[in-house]
Structure formats: structure tokens, C-alpha cells
Amino acid sequence: MTPETIEGYGVRLRPCHLADVPEMVAGCADPEIRRFMPLLPDPYDSGAARWWVTEGAPAAWAAGGAAYTIADPASDRLLGSIGLTRLSAERATYEIGYWVGAAARGRGVATAATRLLTERAFAAGAARLELLTRTENVASQRIALACGYRHEGVRRAAGADGDGVRQDLIAWVRLADDPPGPLARLLPDLPDGRLTDGVVTLRPVEPADTDALFRLHSLPEVVANRVPPVAPERAALARRCRLAASRWLAGEAADLAILDAATGAVVGGCALFYDEPATGQAMIGYSLLPEARGRGLAARTVRLVAGWAFGIGVARLWAGTRPDNVASQRVLERAGFRREGLLRGRLPGPDGARVDSVVYGRLATDEN
């Protein structure tokens, strides 16, 4: 690639200029940007910005990569920055990265710039582009999906904070021969961000739900139905809540908080696991805090999730319960599930024992 200006999708990508320095300083001093780019010089002043324009960006080009300013086509003012790092000349593999200033966010600038540079890189001979995101950087993960990048997995401890603490990174990848356009999601967003029947409300799990869900999953009767039947550590539950949005975008699981619609209080948790996308099968699990039981909230939750799941293309839902968990079996039956059989010794039990599982299923074609 050569440092020439390209335009498309409402943005301009051009070489960096010294006139960009004030906007670069403002952008790279933004706490939101520094949160996901902790290795930027601190403080990021005009000297750091000038170094990038005169030395850093030219070095990126010289190494076979690219370093562009994202500019407004009308004013040519900086909106952000985007570039490529060549990972392997032999494999024609590059990493793409960007940042967008606060004033330009929410306008699709990062998506437009990523799409434009992706197309340019493939036209210039790139075979594989990687976009690495922090696990909690949901906005960037949405950009990756919008630009056709596929979730390829987690790279453990592939990133580092300024203090040397290692961080996992999620790899999103696009190949030169991948079909154009946004990538279809296995698990789309909930309509209006939630599901409700007026009595119970379901919304995606958030980090603020850690305390309520830790209390829930520490209850003996809930622990007995966990796999394996071991109480979670709070740090593990906190991590699950932090990664819930990321796992949803990757199509792995829709992790939901169950709320009392009248009070807004979290009263339980529910998750839909897309365990067999190839066959259209997903699994559902749920549990309620003691004060919410006996009010029909669990059956309402299962019905809401089932309706949404079938609406996004799931063909079959299943759930498993321990043979002695009669309450859960009644919930499933009230929600339209049918008992399908017993799987002997399917689940790990306490002290190395194995526990049977009663399987319930519901098809998209079943009557409500």
C-alpha cells in the first residue's frame, strides 16, 4: 500500500499532517480511548502527536503497513486514526486498528473507515486481516461484525496494560474471499433491548448484576444444579458478567437477568446457549432467588425466551433437569416443553458421582 488519500462511505482516509496535532492530542487524551489503548504515551501532548506525524506514521508505512488520519471529507479535519500493521509478509496478514474522537462517535465513522481500509488492503494484496479487541470493548466488536469480520476466538493474555498486566484479546478475522457485507449474527439483539410480558422483564446481563447473580448461584439448591455442582467464586461471576455482552455478540450465549417488571429488581438469571447452530438447537437454563419463587416468574421467563429464540431461527430448544428437581420440570411443562427421556449419568455429581438428567424439548412448530 502507498500513502495516498482514499474516500468512501462518508469518510476520507489520508496521510497524517502536522495540522492534525491539536485534534490528535484531544483524542488520545480521552479516557475512553486510553481505556482501550493503555500503551499510548501518558500524558499525550503535542510532542507525542508530532512524533507520530513525523516518525511513527512514516515508520508504519516503511514497515509495509499503513497509518491514516480519518478525516471529514467536507472540512478535512481529523475525526480519528486508522492503520494496518503487517504481521507476516509471507502470509499477507495484517492487523487493523483505529480510534475515533468523542465528537465523531455514534455516527458510524469507525465502521466506515474500517470497511474502507479493509477493501483497500484486500485490493492491494492482503489475504487476511485481524482486528483484536479487548473483551469488554463491545462497541469495537460490533464494528467488527458490521464490517464482516468473524469471531475466531480468544487470545489469552495477548494484550498488556501500561502497568504490565496481561489482558485477553478477542480475535476477529476477515479473509480476502469472505463474502461482502455485515456478518449475520446467530444471536441478534433483543427487540428494544429487552423482553417483557408486563410481569417479568428480561435484559442482557451487565457487570452491575454481579452481586445479585453471585448470591443466586451460591444458594445450595442452585449449586446442586450447576455443572459441575460447585459454588462459583465471586471473581468468576464478575468475569462472566463482564463478558456477557461479548459472548452474546460471538453467538455463544444470551445471558439474561430476570427482573420483576414492577420494581426493576433482579430476581434471577436465565441463559440461552446456542449449543448446536448447525442443527438449529439451543439450550435454556434458569434460576430464581427465593423471594421470587412460587409466582410463576420462571415459566413466564422460559416462554419469553422461547418466543424470541424461535423468532430468530432456533428450531429446537431443550433443557435438562435432575430427576428430583420437580419444580423445574413443572416450569418447563407450563412453558410448553415435553419430557423426552432420561440420560443416565449425564452430569457430574458430588464426590465423583454421576447424575441422571431428565431431558425436555420444545420445537418451533409446537403449539403454544
Dihedral angle at the C-alpha atoms of 250, 209, 331, 222, nearest 10 degrees? 100
User: What is residue 318's predicted lDDT score, i.e. its pLDDT?
Assistant: 97
Q: pLDDT (tens digit, 9 = 90+) per residue, 217-261?
A: 999 999 988 888 889 999 999 999 999 999 999 999 999 999 999
pLDDT bracket for residue 50 (50, 70, 90): very high
Asked which of 86-95, 279-288, 345-354 is least confident by mean pLDDT, the reply is 345-354
pLDDT bracket for residue 103 (50, 70, 90): confident
Q: What gap in Å lies between CA 251 and CA 275, rounded to an integer?
A: 10
Q: pLDDT (tens digit, 9 = 90+) per residue, 312-347?
A: 999 999 999 999 999 999 999 999 999 999 999 998
Question: DSSP letters along 238-289, please?
Answer: HHHHHHHHHHHHTTSEEEEEEEETTT--EEEEEEEEEEETTTTEEEEEEEE-
pLDDT bracket for residue 7 (50, 70, 90): very high
Whole-structure pTM value = 0.88
Q: What gap in Å lies between CA 167 and CA 324, rounded to an integer?
A: 42
Cα–Cα distances (Å) from 70 to 9, 14, 30, 134, 137, in that order, read: 12, 7, 17, 22, 20
